[in-house]
Structure 1
């Protein structure tokens, strides 16, 4: 499923769980793996004070090799890349050049354990910018991943019925079919909003036709705070993956920062969280027949 994978790293070592997961995926899928660090980030991905001179990239590359090289030894098509520049620009540029299928990122800040909510919610951080503009899914890994066989057995997709959530549901369905995984679609309604019965009817009407070929699927409606309910379900279901649309209700892309529900879920989830955005919606370009099956995938749209 993933043929070209980029994993963004810093010299802090806090990204080890993301590197391990990306290496496992690359081994399993025989993928090309690009472990990438952008020089000039001493304070974490959310703070760029001074761009490092390009002459220091050699020392940084040696450091990256010492820190993470052991995970790449068994991956023939792997590279450690150190470049100078603005981190989100360079990661996105590399992703476009390689036509990447997946970007993997970790917490990316030394103060993660103490200040994770503040740092991740900071508008303009590299994680936010990459998640906002990547043309492929962005997988956020904050804990070690158990790469078992099959890789994914229980997948959760959160939907708010928006257009942007359509691709998240379609992508989750594709993965569930490929891995013969169980798929749970969850919608969280706010207190005072539409009732659970009404939302359940809407879920079934909107998505039942697209569940053909998925050996086990179900729907869940909860009332409350979305992140808390999604996390509760992930633990109850022993989820391997959570898929969400990046700020699916935000119509202005310049305001669509990763700072609310997706952030809270990704930081606290027991498994990786995958974010898809409007650019991937264009790339996805999915079309369905009357049974809800995918019949065509358009070429990537120019953005």
Structure 2
């Protein structure tokens, strides 16, 4: 298998992104380009909180604006010397990651897990698990050395 395109899914709101080092290593070894993506949970997630629509829209604009800045800084800091581009999407994270991987015709998805266990995993589910089950290309999941907070 030849790696030409890698999709690295990250969480800009998390201080632990274990997939980054692996995506960089794979890109360095293969010469592949890297699409670094962050998926903002869709507006529908917030609509159930009984918050006025205007407030949701205002908050989403703030999130989008801040996320673009954060993504640019993230790619510059963590992917120097790598052909890497940052993208931000809105939607259900697992579905959007698989959709973008298909649209960009990537050869591999590299993403971290939150290392949740027990009831925490049961109630919050696993984006990584859903991506592994749904993706048509290989998915490398990286468990963090320390748990996300």
Alignment TM class, shorter chain as reference? 0.7 to 0.9
Among 129, 132, 136, which residue is 1:266 paired with? 132
Which position in structure 1 is the counterpart of 2:86?
A: 219
Which position in structure 2 is the counterpart of 1:233?
A: 100
Q: Counterparts of 1:152 and 1:188 in 2: how far apart (Å)?
A: 23
* Alignment gaps of 5+ in structure 2: 44-55
Q: For the structure 1 residues 233 and 212, does the alpha-carbon distance in structure 2 shift closer, same or farther, using more than 3 Å as the test?
A: same
User: Deviation above 3 Å: which 4+ runs of structure 1?
Assistant: 192-195, 253-259
Shift of 1:153: 0.9
Shift of 1:256: 4.4
Among 179, 183, 191, which residue is 2:30 paired with? 179
TM-score by length of 1: 0.38
Written as runs of structure 1 = structure 2, the 5 A alignment for 1:156-171 is 156-161=7-12, 162-165=14-17, 167-171=18-22
What is the SS of the residue equivalent to 1:189? strand
* Alignment gaps of 5+ in structure 1: 1-146, 283-303
Between structure 1 and structure 2, the one with the greater Rg is: 1
Which position in structure 2 is the counterpart of 1:246?
A: 113
TM-score by length of 2: 0.74
Q: Which has the larger share of helix? A: 2
Shift of 1:200: 1.4
Q: Is the 8 A contact 1:164 1:277 kept in 2?
A: no
Q: Is the 8 A contact 1:157 1:172 kept in 2?
A: yes
Q: Counterparts of 1:278 and 1:187 in 2: how far apart (Å)?
A: 18
Q: Counterparts of 1:278 and 1:176 in 2: how far apart (Å)?
A: 20
Q: Is the 8 A contact 1:241 1:272 kept in 2?
A: yes
Q: Is the 8 A contact 1:246 1:256 kept in 2?
A: no
CA-atom RMSD in angstroms: 2.3
